[in-house]
Structure 1
């Protein structure tokens, strides 16, 4: 005959509640409760004590010596019924869940009827062992993960499907962007489902929506998806072209700025201005022409060209003046050997020995000199070709 018994947990870690098979044990039986566990002692159908981790000696009315005598009126069954339930309070993770049917709703962005499914994982932990045992377990010998999910399945399915449809509608979530909102779904569903589990003494520690099953393969959905992605691809191509054009424009502008800065640096180093550079360009064009008619076609007057020659310096100016002089000699056969060659006032070519300009009437003076360096001017100009001082006429 067994004098005392050792009562300890012998289940696995995927079980929430486990009833020890030993019943009606004797006084002084040893109860051992591990960490992350609790044990509830029942006597005569009543939950008397809740034991935390540790080793305990149980006091019952079942005295071993008198046990047979007391049990005779009840045909060997002890009238003092003892039971112990172990509650596993560790957080149980990776509990799978999934909708048992499709969620029917109208896609909020495109007003398209859709059917989707959802699944994921959750983790649960027992908070109130006595409440869970009395309200859900009753007289069953154990409560496994599978049983707990089965008990809550109908409630879970109803609320999950309703909540997902509501969230997608109120948040206007596009079906093609739904995977970006899995964390939002998970957080919202956890908040809404937690009170239901709490009523049974269970804490919903985590709730994850890991997959939204889209209606792939459905003909109408596939047509709509193809249209959406082709539209998206067109938009992407247009954006790429626009960005490329902006980059090219910026590159061209940068090139122009760099070239302008390089030219400005070159002009500064060589000692001439932008206006003088333009004069060089005009003189080069003039040098390519051989007759007055070509100057006229270019829209450039003889007097203007003479002025350009004086402004841009000796070499180019000489080429311009020489071209004009040669042209004048060819047309008028008048030798030009006046003191200055040109009128200092209007720039008109002067005939040999002229004392007055036959165009503007200005008196012809002897070759004028630069007031700064004394250089004798040989032709019309605005600046001294030797020192660069402004010429006073």
Structure 2
């Protein structure tokens, strides 16, 4: 190869970039040390932007199209250089291609739980994850803030920073919205929309645009989910007694599946009797609580008017409450309805005459009893 052919080979005449990857954001062309010939062809494809850097300064920015590098197409670069050797003189400059397409299916998630205060459950730890997409909208700003002079920049170089930015913004947003934990699933679209608006300015600081943002799931702690499952089961059965009966029957079925039945489950004779007692209580109908006879102390069935042991009136009444008029037992010191203390003797405040229990007016002077 002659010296002229060697020099000619050093002059780049075609500048282009074909992206075969899915995550390349910035590509520097040409190889360091080569020179670009005046009059060379520059091809910028759709979803690409080319930036000329000369002596460390941004000279020109080119959108999609075919360009001939001349003084007409390089006004800024022409001012930076004197071109003392004519229009065919080569010049050293760096060309950075920026991928302006959307980088989709970028995943985000909370590495650590988000602590939030819920009106129903108190303090909760929530985890969330989803996807988002972004693109380079300001190549010069992205170069200054992120890529610098790197010859090849991929999405993995910035996604780590973006994920932390997203989690921080989403945590603050959930605290502001104060959506109850049980209503979060019904508000995924609203949360996603507000989060995208909130994070847009943060992305623009890096020369990026947050094109889309989606919340796929916000999950509760396992302890809270287990409690909700039990509450749902109780609501399905109607009351706690029926739910206890269901659990007892279910445990018998599980124990029967073991080799040897209940005995194979490790239940001995004494333990089996205890288990039987538990099952009996579970399946027994709830009994109404009775009362104690005030005379002999025997237990009387609920609703009984007379003691089955001594035959006396189970709940003898001694009069009415001095305050609310409710029936009270003999020698009762306090009313079981309003809790007012019961005096042994009551006198009229106007004339001093003795009043009967529960009297509303004085029989002597007719004054109203307060």
TM-score bracket for the superposition, by shorter chain length: 0.5 to 0.7
What CA distance in whole angstroms lies between the structure 2 residues aligned with 1:232 and 1:126? 52
Question: What is aligned with 2:15?
Answer: 7
**From 55, 58, 79, the counterpart of 1:44:** 55
Q: CA deviation at 1:51?
A: 0.7
- Kindly report which structure 2 residues correspond to 1:94-173, keeping only aligned pairs within 5 A, or say none: 94-108=105-119, 110-167=120-177, 169=178, 171=179, 173=180
Determine which of 37, 44, 51 is the counterpart of 1:33: 44
Q: CA separation in 2, counterparts of 1:8 and 1:235?
A: 72
Is the counterpart of residue 211 in structure 1 residue 188 in structure 2?
Answer: no
What is the RMSD of the two structures over their aligned residues, measured on CA atoms? 2.9
Cα deviation for residue 234 of structure 1 reads 5.4
C-alpha contact 1:4 1:30 (8 A) present in aligned 2: no
Structure 1 counterpart of 2:231? 228
Q: Evaluate the alpha carbon distance shift between residue 50 and residue 214 of structure 1 in structure 2; reply closer, same or farther with a 3 A threshold.
A: same
The answer for the alignment partner of 2:69 in structure 1 is 58
Contact 2:173–2:195 under 8 Å retained in 1: yes
The alignment partner of 2:35 has SS state of: coil
Within 2, Cα distance between the matches of 1:151 and 1:84? 26
The 3 A distance-change label for structure 1 pair 13 and 222 is closer
How far apart, in 1, do the equivalents of 2:52 and 2:17 lie?
13
Contact 1:99 1:161 in 2 (8 A): no
Deviation at 1:206, TM superposition (A): 0.7
Distance 2:238 2:187 in 1: 23
- For residue 4 of structure 1, report the CA deviation from its aligned partner: 3.0
Instruction: Give the conservation status (yes or no) of the 8 Å contact 2:52–2:60.
Output: yes
Distance in 2 (alpha carbons) for counterparts of 1:204 and 1:96: 13
Shift of 1:214: 2.5
Closer, same or farther: CA 49–176 of 1 in aligned 2, 3 Å: same
**For 1:343-354, what aligned pairs fall within 5 Å after superposition?**
none
Report deviation, 1:21.
4.3
Other structure's SS at 2:128 match: strand
Three-state SS of the structure 2 residue aligned to 1:192 is helix
Matched with 1:179 is 185
What is the distance in 2 between the residues matched to 1:231 and 1:181? Answer: 27
Cα distance change of structure 1 residues 53 and 156 upon mapping to structure 2, 3 Å threshold: same
The answer to which structure has the higher helix fraction is: 1
Unaligned stretches of 5+ residues in structure 1: 71-77, 237-393
Once the two structures are TM-superposed, the CA of residue 231 in structure 1 deviates from its matched residue by 4.9
**Contact 2:109/2:163 (CA < 8 Å) preserved in 1?**
no
Alignment length (residue pairs): 216
What corresponds to 1:292 in structure 2?
A: none
User: Does structure 2 conserve the Cα–Cα contact (< 8 Å) formed by 1:103 and 1:165?
Assistant: no
- The CA deviation string for residues 202-260 of structure 1, in whole angstroms up to 9 with x for no partner, is 111110001113222x3xx2452134313543579xxxxxxxxxxxxxxxxxxxxxxxx
Partners in 2 of 1:121 and 1:194 — Cα distance? 15
**How much does 1:81 deviate?**
4.2
SS state at 2:51 partner: strand
Q: Distance in 2 between matches of 1:151 and 1:141?
A: 20
C-alpha distance in 2 between matches for 1:81 and 1:94: 38
Residue 189 (structure 1) aligned to one of 186, 190, 195: 195
Q: Specify the alignment match of 2:331 in structure 1.
A: none
| SS of corresponding position for 1:158 | helix
> 1:198 offset after TM fit, Å?
1.5
5+ long unaligned stretches in structure 2? 1-5, 71-76, 240-370
